[in-house]
Amino acid sequence: MNDDRIQRVRDIQGACYIPSWSRTTLDAWGSAFQPSQFLREVSYAAGLGLNALRIWTNVWGYENDPTAYRQNLTFVFDEAHKRGIGIHLNLFDSGGGGPETAADGEIPSLADVRASVEGDEFLQSLLAGKILTKGMQVFGMPQLVSVPERDGSIAVWDVSPVFREPWFVASPGYAHLGQEYWDRWDAYVDDLVTNFRDHPGLLIIDVMNEPFIVARWGVDVDPVRRFYTHAYELVRQLAPDIPVTIGAENLEVFRQYEADLPSLMDAVSIHPLTFNKADFRKRIKAAKAFANETGGRPVIASEWGAFPGAHDTEQLDLYRSHFPILNESGVAWELTHLISGYGQAALTAILHPNGTMRPAARFVRDALAPW
């Protein structure tokens, strides 16, 4: 691997980015894409002093119109690069889904969705435009979205009475990891990786984000392991000069992912999402030690911040507490999230869509780009 490429990964000081207009990762770069709003949002990132955006692509959004999807992403890469912003590209994501539990047939109205979750306090509160967890806020009411090739309709951004992750449409989802689908997903990987592997703005590729998240519900993870191993080998073949990793919930899980692969990944990517300062320091220290033991690889805290949401004061306190640890350790990082909109990004973001900064955003700006 080229030393310059690895150094660019070491230097990442960025943010996870789900666009403000995107109700799920399915529609971020497809027909809902808003180029003028993207230009504002990438300029906000540059104004904060950030140098990278971690973005999610989605197989279902891509398949709606591959040409338009690719063209929109090219605009994203080009305009970000002009502003000194590199792209950390996530190809697959198991977040937000697993074996579908919704009933067969379309869900024609929000009233029917409410009826379908009767007795589930969490989902009923979500549908009412409220959220129960301390510190969360949801901007706007849920909307029904059509999710391709699912057993039944998945309403309110992939929510079902079992899988309570309302902000991601899984890509491709547990039910579509089997080898009978691989040719289809290989075409998606081939198109995007081939198109962007030589782009100067591409920093690193996440083959998959948190593949084992479905293990929360007791499913067999062997199909997941076979899938990410296959996808990893394909990305390596298509783009041997591009750093590759898998985003992991923690170091232990990262090591489990890596044990399945034919070679070491180029960066240790973990998600130290904790409000506890001592725990955060411990996680960063352990990741650095492991990276140094295995070839001196970069460490990326690729999701950190006030997850799953906090009021301004609590969010600012976390940034004041954790940022010096990142700075002292020298690890790369991507805060979660850049800008609010819907679901998860609304709960954790440091910016509002009109560019208004929460106190944590002002802290980041002053720490990275004081003027």
Q: What is the domain-level CATH number for residue 220?
A: 3.20.20.80
Bridge-based pairing state of the strands 52-56 and 86-93: parallel
- In this prediction, residue 136 carries a pLDDT of 34
- In this prediction, residue 216 carries a pLDDT of 60
Q: How many CA atoms lie within 13 A of 313 on its CB side?
A: 0
Q: At what angle do helices 277-293 and 251-259 cross, to 10 degrees?
A: 30
Alpha helices in 107-264 (DSSP H): 110-116, 121-127, 182-196, 222-238, 251-259
- In this prediction, residue 152 carries a pLDDT of 33
- Which residues touch 183 (CB under 8 Å, ≥6 apart)? none
- In this prediction, residue 342 carries a pLDDT of 74
- In this prediction, residue 25 carries a pLDDT of 76
- In this prediction, residue 101 carries a pLDDT of 36
User: Which phi and psi (to 5°) does residue 182 adopt?
Assistant: -65, -40
- In this prediction, residue 116 carries a pLDDT of 47
**CA pair distance 234, 236, nearest whole angstrom:** 5
Residue with tokens 């969010």: 315
- In this prediction, residue 241 carries a pLDDT of 96
Contact between 49 and 365 under an 8 Å Cβ cutoff? The reply is yes
The count of structural domains within the chain is 1
What residue numbers bound the domain in which 30 lies? 3-368
- Which residues touch 32 (CB under 8 Å, ≥6 apart)? 21, 22, 23
- In this prediction, residue 344 carries a pLDDT of 64
Bridge-based pairing state of the strands 52-56 and 244-247: unpaired
Contact between 44 and 6 under an 8 Å Cβ cutoff? The reply is no
**CA pair distance 196, 189, nearest whole angstrom:** 11
Query: Which tokens sit at 287?
Result: 């990741």
Query: Digits of tens for pLDDT over the chain (371 positions)?
Result: 678 999 999 999 999 999 999 877 778 999 899 999 999 999 999 999 999 999 999 998 999 999 999 999 999 999 999 999 999 999 999 754 444 433 333 333 444 444 444 555 544 544 444 333 333 333 333 444 444 554 333 333 333 333 344 456 778 888 889 999 999 999 999 999 999 999 999 999 999 999 987 766 567 889 999 999 999 999 999 999 999 999 999 999 999 999 999 999 999 999 999 999 999 999 999 999 999 999 999 999 999 999 878 889 999 999 999 999 999 999 999 999 999 987 667 779 999 999 999 999 999 999 997 65
- In this prediction, residue 108 carries a pLDDT of 34
